[in-house]
């Protein structure tokens, strides 16, 4: 079973910030939170990751709660091309030690 839970779908208006939540209440101390997204049926692509500090890159920001039991991916100015399925997973530093389990993710739909 996936170690993360996400809402199945979300809508966001184009140009607004999209905030995608993820719960990972059983995360262990040395597990990172990784976010991927999948457009159509292409392979998922990496967006961002973090351990306990908030992170930002050219694609998105990641906010991790102090207890690390949940996180939020923020797309600051969503565009139509951001419509995709977003997956949140947890992974040990240096890579997964076992089968990395993806849940069903969140289908983000950007509305024009």
Partner 1 sequence: GAGVSQSPSNKVTEKGKDVELRCDPISGHTALYWYRQSLGQGLEFLIYFQGNSAPDKSGLPSDRFSAERTGGSVSTLTIQRTQQEDSAVYLCASIQLGWEDPRTGANVLTFGAGSRLTVL
Give the nearest distance from C-beta 5 to partner 1 in angstroms.
12
Residue number, 14 or 100, with CB nearest to partner 1? 100
Residue number, 9 or 15, with CB nearest to partner 1? 9
Number of other residues whose CB lies within 10 A of the CB of residue 96: 13
Instruction: Residue 22: name the closest of 38, 42, 43, 8 by CA.
Output: 8
Regarding 98 and contact with partner 1 (CB under 8 A), the answer is yes
Give the nearest distance from C-beta 104 to partner 1 in angstroms.
4
Residues in touch with partner 1 (CB under 8 A): 2, 34, 36, 41-46, 49, 57, 85, 87, 91, 93-96, 98-105
């Amino acid at each position: 079973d996936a170690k993360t839970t996400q809402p199945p779908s979300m809508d966001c208006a184009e140009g607004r910030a999209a905030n995608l939540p993820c719960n990972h209440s059983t995360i262990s101390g040395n597990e990172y939170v990784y976010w991927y997204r999948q457009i159509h049926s292409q392979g998922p692509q990496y967006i961002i990751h973090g351990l306990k500090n908030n992170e930002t890159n050219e694609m998105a920001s990641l906010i991790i709660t102090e207890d690390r039991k949940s996180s939020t991916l923020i797309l600051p100015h969503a565009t139509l091309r951001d419509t995709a399925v977003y997956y949140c997973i947890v992974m040990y530093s240096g890579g997964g030690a076992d089968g990395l389990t993806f849940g069903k993710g969140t289908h983000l739909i950007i509305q024009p």
